Structures are given as structure tokens and as C-alpha cells.
A and B are shown apart, each in its own frame.
Chain A
Amino acid sequence: MNKKLKKRIFKVSGTSFCALVYAFLFLPIVVIVTNSFNATTTKPYQTWKGFTFDWYVRLFDGSNASLLDSFKNTIIIAVTSTLLATVIGTLAAVGMYRYTFRGKSVIDGMLYIPVVIPEIVIGIALLTIFALVNVPRGMLTLILSHVSFSIPFVIFNVRARLAGYDNSIEEASMDLGAGRIGTLLRITLPVLTPGILGGALLAFTLSIDDVIISKFVAGNTYTFPLKVWDSIKSGVSPAVNALSTLILIGTIVFVVLTQSNLLKSEKRKSFKKKRKAR
């Protein structure tokens, strides 16, 4: 009796705790989505004036060109810097896994520094350097900066994958007649792919929502986060909410697609377990 009651209390409190956590996580998102349908036209755009698709229409009718422009910049910067950081980071991780050289442990340790340093310090440092060598601030400096802070994350991801990597599969590949390039393309890269993709995804995310460092090195160029940041002073226009909602939908679609792949392989694993158990 007593036990039953206890169980029930646990269950109820557990469930409500979960509900609270999820509310905490998702309420802000709900607010954003809701507000993107808000028919208000007066600043600070916070009172509900009825439902409308207006903001979505206005997003593309030219009246929000600078917002869309900044979003385009963000995507260009994110894609370019992700590609560069992924290539550089993967090569670095493989190189550091394969070769021993003098001072390797020092270089290894130094990788952690950019990760733990406050972003504001990196921002100032990058700005100083660009000013020193006289690079005009803009897309180029934004891309370079994003590459530089993304590289360690790619390295860490690829390296985690390398920890379980058996070097002899490359030897087996060459033994069977594949050259070095063939071995890289058919064996090394495919086996490392999950780590590389993970690193790339991380780099992409970091780049897309970076504000602090970008603020220092952007010059007159605007990225989406910088644009939003600037518009806070005058109240965030529901057009921003609309764009955010679209990004959110894009992200969800992406996650569902990749997760369903994951789920499939999970199923295969559990199937295997069942077979074993039999």
C-alpha cells in the first residue's frame, strides 16, 4: 500500500519534472513561432493583434532585402568555412594520429586553448591581426575567423573516431592492390566519415550562430545573427521570427532525415542482439 503510493508519487513527480524541462526548452521556440504570425505593426511588436501570414510574404517581397541578404551571407560563410575547416581539421587529425614528431604533445595541448579562451579574446585578437596586416574587414575575414575557431572541433571529432581505428586495414587495402590515393578514398575516408560529418556539423552550427567573434571582424558586412542583434534596439520585427521559423523547419527536416538513418542502424543492431540471444 505504502509502496504503491510511493511509486505513484515518484511517477507523477517524475513526469511533471520532465514536462517542466521540456517546457523550459521549447517555450521560447513556441513564442518565436507564434510571434511570426502576429499581425501587429507597431513596435515593439509584442502584443497579439491577430493571425497573419503577412510577415512570411513580406520576407520575400523586397521590403526585408537586407535581412535576407544577411541570411545569404551567413549561409555562404557557414558553408565555406565548414568545408575549409573540415578538410584542414581532418588532415590534421589523421596526421597527428599517424606520425610522431618533436613537440607533438605541445601542439596537441595547444588545440584546447582556442576552445576554452573566451570568444571575446579571440575576437579582439583576430581584429588586431587583420588590422595589422591591413585586410579589409568583410566576408573574407569572417570566413577566415570562422575557419580558425572551427578547426579544433573538427579535429576532436575526427580524433575520437580514430581512437578505434585499426591501421592495418589500410595495409590490407594496399596489400590487395590499391594505391595510396585509392586506399585513402575507399578505406580511410569512409571509415572516418561519421567523425568527419560530426565535426562538419559542429563547425556549421558554430559558424551559423556566431555573434561575438563575427561582430569584431565583420566590418560593414552583416550576418543573420548580427542583423538580429542590431534590430533588438528597435524591437525584433516579426519578419525575423518568420525567418527563424523557416530555419527551424529546415533544421527539423534535416534532423529527422539523419536521425531516421540512425534509427535504422539501431534497429539492425537490436535485431542482431535478438538473433544472438536465440
Chain B
Amino acid sequence: MKRAKKRFEANKLGVMSVEETRKKMVEMIGVNKIYADHDGHGSNHVVKDLNLSVYEGEFLTLLGSSGCGKTTTLRMVAGFEEATSGTIHVEGESVGSKEPFERDVNTVFQSYALFPHMTVHDNVAYGLKMKKVKKPEIKKRVEEMLELVQLGGFEKRYPSQLSGGQKQRVAIARALINQPKVLLLDEPLGALDLKLRKQMQIELKRLQKKLNITFIYVTHDQEEALIMSDRIAIMDSGVLQQVGDPTDIYENPKTKFVATFIGETNLFEGSVAEVSGDAIGITVESGGFTVKGANFAAGELITVSVQPEKMLYSATPVPGFALQGLVKDQVYVGSILKTIVVLSDGQEVKIERLAGQELPKNGLVYLFWNDADAKLIRDMDSVVYEAAENVTL
């Protein structure tokens, strides 16, 4: 996590304002996917009104929990699945009517999908053969490509004679050899062990920068997403929740889902009791507190997110905060001390400290935080609520 955070700091300066001037490589406009149920009727709305642009040379990660529609989204871009509605552009051109083999997009499959009856060489050469490239040229380019993924000398092996990581690299080499404009990667590191995974993350990132290819990368590992991506798009049950660079996503989650999905966080759900200037009084079940913010009205539902390392505590009451809890568990994870404080309504608040700063066991503590560390999230449910109320029939 720490390493990831350092990266954002580095990223922050460069990336943000440049986006508008860069070329859009893939653009999804109002894309929906509805699967028919097995018996032909009924339906399963898997991707909902997706609008997303991916820019030239960008490493964009689609992040979301299992079954949220990431693979389906990739498959629509690759052409294996047809969008129920909406359009997909690759390099400004609609690809709706194009077959997979007509699209300038290549895929690294979740299951590798290497051709079992072909050698490593023939697997990698396949794309060039289809393009009718001359034999000596194929040989040269395959060699180069295998060198690039550090598999020189493996040409004559069959896929069954390779380790997981080697198969993975063959799959990547095979997809890259046609020099696609866009490479789609569906959890390419999912089957690897942790060490190899870390190593491949770095290798992939290096390849992507070197070849300057647009990557759309699917994962459900948030740490992987934070480390590798230029931008992250977070999906939940087919709905795009937030798109932004890692820092942005981490520091300013726009929805409760994003806040909980990226890292651990404490969510305080309540309603706005009063607003005076930029101070908002909030009541939650276990008490209340004041935060700084704008554009909230009394009565509105609100969620406040505070990260464990930003939680503060005191033995005496703190002005502006009425959150009291009992210290329950304290565990060391490496050099980090993780503490759980239970509030009066049973909510467990996570606190992280460096080793040595233990809280009084079973003691009563008052929780608070600095204004800047509280992220205010407008509750989507309440927005929907309002919208529904405004409809006149």
C-alpha cells in the first residue's frame, strides 16, 4: 500500500490536465449489455450505460469485484460479444459491425488460451501468419518478441511444457506481435503466485511504456490497480462508479463503494442535522460530529469516510465530536498496529498506528479527525430518492 501511495505522488503532477489533448483510442458511449437468461426469456443486465474513454498510450485498469461485468466489457471491445445498445469506437471509428478479426485490438485471455498443438514459436507467429507476413520476417519478429518477454530459446516447446508464468508471457507475446493499437488484458496475472505476480506487474508496465500501447487491464486486485495504472475505472454491478488517477480515487472516493473497495476505510453513515456556513452538523446512530463541506442541505443522507491511519483518539471529549467507543482488539501486522474500537451501535472503527502506540486495553476513547481527512460522500440512494420525488406523473 505504501509503495502504491508513493507512486501517486509521482503521478499527480504530470497526468491530470493532459488528458483532453490526447487521442481517444477507445471510446464507449452509452454501452449496455443484457444477457438473455438460459431459457431465452428474462434478462440479466450486466453492463449499465457505460461511458468511458481510453487515451493513446494509457494504462487504464477496470477494477471491480467478481461478476461486475469487467470481462463482458472487454469482450465487447474485442468483438466477442455484441453490445445490446450503445456504440464502441476504436480510434474514432465505430466497430459495432466489425468481426473480432477485423479489429485492431488484441486480447490476453484470463485462461491464456494458448494453442495446445503448436509450439511457442508457432503460437507467437500465428498473428503474423494470418497477416501473410513473409517467413523470414516472421522468424525474426518472433525471436525479437520472445526476447522482449524473456523467453528466448523456448521456441520449440509446447504450451504443456511451460510454467504458468512462461505461458503468461507467451500469451502476451502472441497478443503483442501484431502491434495492436489497444491491448486488452483480462486478469492476466490472476493465476500466478504472489512473487511472480509482483515481478510480472513490473515487466508488463515496462513493456507497455516501451511499446507505447494502450492497455485496458482488468483486475479485481486493488493494490495491483493502484501500482500499475495511469487511470482506474471502478465498476460495481455493471455501473461505472468513478474514473480517475490512483491518487484521485484513493483520496477522493465519490461513492461508498469506491471508498470501501480502495483500501480499508471507516464509513460513518448519517444525515445532515444542520448547516451553518461551511460547517455541517451530522448525526449518526452512535453520536454526531461536525465536518467542513459545501452544497449539503439539512435532512440529506451523507456518508463520511475516514481512513484508518487518519483516525485520531483522545481520552477526553473533543469539541465538535461525539463519538465514543471501547477499545476491542489490537493486532500487530508487521510494524503496523491495527486497533478496533467499537461504537455504541456496534460499528467497528479501524485505527492504524505505528508500533508502540497502544491504546488502553478495554478503555473508553473519544474519536476524532482533522477536517481535511474526512471525505464527504453524497449518498447515491438519497440522490435517487430526490430524483424520484421530482418526477411529475
Contact-size category for B: 20 to 34
Contact of B106 among A176, A190, A191, A272 (CB under 8 A): A176
- Say yes or no: A174 contacts B100, CB within 8 Å: yes
Q: Which of B100, B105, B109, B114 lies at the interface centre, i.e. has the most chain A CB atoms within 10 A of its CB?
A: B100
Tell me, in angstroms, the Cα distance from A230 to B124 when the chains sit together: 60
Give the segment of B44-52, B126-134, B216-224, B351-359 that binds chain A.
B126-134
Chain A residues within 8 Å of B100, by CB: 171, 174-175
Q: A44 on the interface (CB 8 Å rule)?
A: no
Contact of B126 among A173, A179, A190 (CB under 8 A): A173
CB contact list, A80-138 vs B, under 8 A? 100
Chain B residues within 8 Å of A171, by CB: 78, 80, 100, 107, 109, 113
CB contact list, B101-125 vs A, under 8 A? 101, 105-107, 109, 111, 113-117
CB contact list, A175-219 vs B, under 8 A? 175-179, 182, 187, 190-191, 193
Please tell me the number of chain A residues within 8 Å of chain B, measured between CB atoms: 19
Known contacts A168-B111, A171-B109, A176 near B117 by CB under 8 Å: no
Known contacts A169-B114, A191-B117, A177 near B101 by CB under 8 Å: yes
Closest to A165 in B: B116
Tell me, in angstroms, the Cα distance from A276 to B113 when the chains sit together: 23
- Say yes or no: A176 contacts B126, CB within 8 Å: yes
Give the dominant DSSP class at B's interface: mixed
Tell me, in angstroms, the Cα distance from A174 to B113 when the chains sit together: 12
Q: Which of B109, B111, B115, B178 lies at the interface centre, i.e. has the most chain A CB atoms within 10 A of its CB?
A: B115
- Say yes or no: A172 contacts B107, CB within 8 Å: yes
Q: A166 on the interface (CB 8 Å rule)?
A: yes
A-B Cβ contacts below 8 A, count:
61
What are the interface flags for A123-155 relative to B under an 8 Å C-beta threshold, 1 for contact and 0 otherwise?
000000000000000000000000000000000
- Say yes or no: A175 contacts B115, CB within 8 Å: no
Known contacts A174-B101, A175-B106, A175-B107, A168 near B127 by CB under 8 Å: no
Chain B residues within 8 Å of A174, by CB: 80, 99-101
Tell me, in angstroms, the Cα distance from A177 to B105 when the chains sit together: 10
Tell me, in angstroms, the Cα distance from A173 to B99 when the chains sit together: 12
- Say yes or no: B113 contacts A168, CB within 8 Å: yes
Tell me, in angstroms, the Cα distance from A168 to B78 when the chains sit together: 13
Q: B361 on the interface (CB 8 Å rule)?
A: no
- Say yes or no: A176 contacts B116, CB within 8 Å: no
- Say yes or no: B114 contacts A175, CB within 8 Å: no
Contact of B115 among A100, A169, A272 (CB under 8 A): A169
Known contacts A168-B111, A171-B109, A178 near B117 by CB under 8 Å: no
Known contacts A173-B115, A175-B101, A168 near B126 by CB under 8 Å: no
Contact of B130 among A166, A169, A177 (CB under 8 A): A177
Tell me, in angstroms, the Cα distance from A193 to B116 when the chains sit together: 12
Tell me, in angstroms, the Cα distance from A272 to B116 when the chains sit together: 16
- Say yes or no: B117 contacts A190, CB within 8 Å: yes
Chain A residues within 8 Å of B117, by CB: 190-191, 193
Q: How far is the CB of B220 from chain A (nearest CB, A)?
A: 19
Tell me, in angstroms, the Cα distance from A265 to B116 when the chains sit together: 14
- Say yes or no: A172 contacts B101, CB within 8 Å: no
- Say yes or no: A176 contacts B130, CB within 8 Å: yes
- Say yes or no: A166 contacts B111, CB within 8 Å: yes
Chain B residues within 8 Å of A193, by CB: 117
Tell me, in angstroms, the Cα distance from A166 to B131 when the chains sit together: 24
Chain A residues within 8 Å of B101, by CB: 174-179
- Say yes or no: A175 contacts B130, CB within 8 Å: no
- Say yes or no: B116 contacts A177, CB within 8 Å: no
What are the interface flags for B239-270 relative to A under an 8 Å C-beta threshold, 1 for contact and 0 otherwise?
00000000000000000000000000000000
Q: B350 on the interface (CB 8 Å rule)?
A: no
Known contacts A177-B101, A178-B101, A172 near B131 by CB under 8 Å: no
Chain B residues within 8 Å of A100, by CB: 38
Q: How far is the CB of B190 from chain A (nearest CB, A)?
A: 14
What are the interface flags for B327-364 relative to A under an 8 Å C-beta threshold, 1 for contact and 0 otherwise?
00000000000000000000000000000000000000
- Contacts A/B (CB < 8 Å), 27 sampled: A100-B38, A168-B109, A169-B113, A169-B116, A171-B100, A171-B109, A171-B113, A172-B113, A172-B115, A172-B174, A173-B115, A174-B99, A175-B101, A175-B106, A175-B175, A176-B130, A176-B174, A177-B101, A177-B127, A177-B131, A177-B178, A178-B126, A178-B130, A187-B115, A190-B117, A191-B117, A193-B117
- Name the 10 nearest CB pairs between A and B, nearest first: A177-B130, A176-B127, A168-B113, A172-B113, A174-B100, A174-B101, A169-B113, A177-B101, A175-B107, A190-B117
Residues of B within 8 A of A (CB): 38, 78, 80, 99-101, 105-107, 109, 111, 113-117, 126-127, 130-131, 161, 174-175, 178
Known: A171-B107, A177-B101. 8 other contacts (CB 8 A): A166-B113, A173-B115, A174-B80, A175-B107, A176-B101, A176-B106, A176-B127, A177-B131
